[in-house]
Structure formats: structure tokens, C-alpha cells
Amino acid sequence: MMKTVRLNSDKEILQVNSFAIRILAVALTISVAIGFSSCTAILDQPVQQGRIRNIADKVWAYSQNHPDGFTLDIHTMSEPTDGIAVSYAETQNSHSRNQLEKVVSHALSHDGYVGGWLNTLNGLYFFDSTRLFPENSLKEAIQFGKDNGQYSAFILSTLTDIPIDGKVADIVNCGSILIGTTGDYRPLSFCENDGTYWGFGIEVAKEIANYLGVEITFVKTSWPTLTADVMTEPQIFDMAIGGITITDTRRESMLMSEGYLANGKTILCRVEEAERFRSLADIDKPEVRVMVNPGGLNEKFANENLRHADIIVNQKNEEIPSLIAGGEADVMITEITEAPYYVQTDPRLAAPLLDEPFTHGEIGVLMQKGQEDLLKMVNNAIRKMKSDGTLRKLHEKYGLVYAY
């Protein structure tokens, strides 16, 4: 039933008519806007499709000259040089020119990056819409990859593939890396009575943890048990650092990083006997007492090269310099990385062969086999320290010879 409203004056009639006109104007405006929007969308579709086709043509042409793969900013048609590239699930398994437009369309509505790689087994070029993360957002990149069913994330600056379910992912998801170190090797790795670790190797370890974006926890190991501790299952730490020389023997059963510190065998003796010991022949005599720590390469070197000297094994490496200074032995077999520290801190000691080491090598990071993704990241961190000057500054801080 229609309800009749009586208006009491001409003023009220004018107010009602004015209100009705405003309502009608609003309705017309909305109708026109919707119609215009619909028309624009219809008109824009061919334009958008043409744009997608044009970009796809450019990406396809680019791919034909880059069979090793690429990540491309489709707005500038240039490759970014840093970031972590991870593909979207929606464009997974898209290959060849006829499927490229779907990838480009997705990229335009998301991050604007397309990745591509040639499958040499079947000759197909695969493309993905890609998201780019900052290189300090490894955890977020790995999680995105996991959410999108990807196998790996790709670090552009170092061209490094990081498995989504590998060792690095475990460390990043945990938020902390466990690093084994002996804590008895000044100035590379030393543990104070309060449990505080310091030294050149300790600072290198912190740089590696920072590169991974995680916290660090140090775990005590020893030279006699180092290999067993690295290889034990379940693992008690992720990698070991601090005065560990790179050798073929270690590389046969474990992984070792690139070197970050030059190394070589030398000796410590008392200042007054510095002229007495100028060669191995001077040391390799029955009356000379040579002291070494057990289980490491110092003991191995002494046993292989000193047939006549009296070799004394002392359990704690950090005690040996003071024992030499106090006359408990005559010579300590040590490294060119360790000897300068004790000469500087104990005026009773000398290192007469410091510039003429018996051996030449490098110190690196040690870890289990099967952790190749972690090895890649450690090497990346070491290379970064070399290139940006961080490693040189650490050498200068600890009075070590920079050989890179």
C-alpha cells in the first residue's frame, strides 16, 4: 500500500524536490562511472594484451642469448645484480614462447621479475614469475620458496643456489649457528675462564653468522677430538673454526672452506737461545726438548721431521709458551699465526724463524660432507670479507700477515 504524505507548505515541497534531484544526480553519476569503467576495461584489454605480448617477445629474444639462465626486470629489461630470487608456484613448469605470456602477465601484476633457464636434457627453456628479496632476508626467501613448492632460492650477487630444505635452511630457520672451536689458540681462538671467546677466528666466525643472518653459539672441541667431533652424528656443531689448517687428508673425509689466513710451521724459543735455533737441523738433536700439543698438525710435524729431538707432549696448547719461557722445554712447534702474539706478550720469548716458515699453507673452516650449501655460503662470506676490506682489517688488528 502506498503511503501518502501531506506537505504543509510550498517550502516543504521545494525541499523534497531538491532532495529527489540530488538523489537522481548521484544515481546518474554512478551509472555513467560504471559504464565508462566497463568501456575502458574493454578498450584496455587489447592494449594490455599487446603490452604483454611485446614484453614476452623481448624476454624470449633475451633468453635465446642467455642459455645459462637469467633473472630479468621486465620494466627495464635489465638483470639485477643482487637479491635473492625465488619463483612463484603459479607459473611453475611454464616453458617455450607460447607459455611465456602467462608468466609475463603474472610478473606484471606482482613483482615485475621473470626468471629463465634452459633445460639441456629436453631443450626446453623454462620461465617463472619471480620474487626478489634483499640478500639480508634469507630466512624470508627460504620460507617463501617453501610456501611455493620450490627446490631452491638463488642469490644473484654470488650466483649461489640454496636448497630450500638444506643445511643452510636448517640453520636460518633455527636462527643460530653452532661453531666448534678449541679455545686454546691465541690469537685465533681463546676461551676465557668466564666462557667468553675471543680471537681472529672468532671474529671471522661472527662475520659468517652475520652473513647468514643468525646468532652464534660456540661449542668447545679439542685438537685430538676435532675430526671425530666434526663427523659425529647427531651433530654437536655445524662447523669448526680457529687455526685449522687446510690439508688434503682433511678434505678426503670432510669439507674445508677457502683459506682466510696464511699459515706455516715455525718455532718459539727463549730470547737468549734465538741464535741457537736457525734451522730444523739445529732443533733435531737429542739434547733439544721440543714441546707440542696433542692430536694436531704440530705433533704430526714434529714426529715426521724430528727424529732425534726429545719430543714432549703437553695436553694444553695455551700452557706451552710459558713452559718454554720457564725452561721446561727448549722449543715449541707452532704456527706463524700464533708465534707473534706470544713474542709480543712475553718478552722472554723469540720466534727466530718467523720469516722462514718450514711449511706454507692456509687456515680454513671445517665441516661435514653433505653440507655443500653451507660450504658455498661460508666461501661467499670469506670472499666478501676479502673484497670489502674486513679481512685485512682483522689481520691488522691481530698483527697477522695479510696474504690476499
Chain segment 203-246, per-residue pLDDT in tens: 999 999 999 999 999 999 999 999 999 999 999 999 999 999 99
Q: Is 108 left (phi over 0), alpha (psi -120 to 50) or beta?
A: alpha
pLDDT classification of 194: cutoffs 50, 70, 90 = very high
Q: CB of 126 within 8 A of CB of 66?
A: no
The C-alpha angle 379, 383, 384, rounded to 5 degrees, equals 115
Q: Domain spanning 170-260+362-398: which CATH class is it, in words?
A: alpha beta
Q: So what's the pLDDT on residue 275?
A: 97
Q: So what's the pLDDT on residue 15?
A: 46
Q: What average pLDDT score do residues 114-123 get?
A: 94
Q: Which residues pair with 64 in a beta bridge?
A: none
Q: So what's the pLDDT on residue 46?
A: 73
CATH number of 265-359: 3.40.190.10
Boundaries of every domain in the chain: 63-162, 170-260+362-398, 265-359
pLDDT at 261 exceeding the cut of 50: yes
Sign of CA dihedral 364, 366, 369, 370: negative
Q: What average pLDDT score do residues 288-312 get?
A: 95
Q: Has this prediction a pTM greater than 0.85?
A: no
pLDDT at 14 exceeding the cut of 70: no
What mean pLDDT value characterizes the chain?
90
pLDDT at 403 exceeding the cut of 80: yes
Q: Do domains 170-260+362-398 and 265-359 have the same CATH topology?
A: yes
Q: So what's the pLDDT on residue 6?
A: 40
Distance from CA of residue 330 to its chain's centroid?
43
pLDDT at 331 exceeding the cut of 50: yes
Q: Which residues contact 202 (CB under 8 A, 6 or more apart)?
A: 181, 188, 189, 190, 218, 241, 242
Q: So what's the pLDDT on residue 44?
A: 64
The model's pLDDT over 313-329, given as tens digits with 9 standing for 90+, comes to 999 999 999 999 999 99
Residue 109, exposed/middle/buried by CB under 10 A (0-12, 13-18, 19+)?
Answer: exposed
Q: What average pLDDT score do residues 50-68 get?
A: 95
3-state class (DSSP) for residue 314: coil
Q: So what's the pLDDT on residue 45?
A: 74
Q: So what's the pLDDT on residue 22?
A: 54
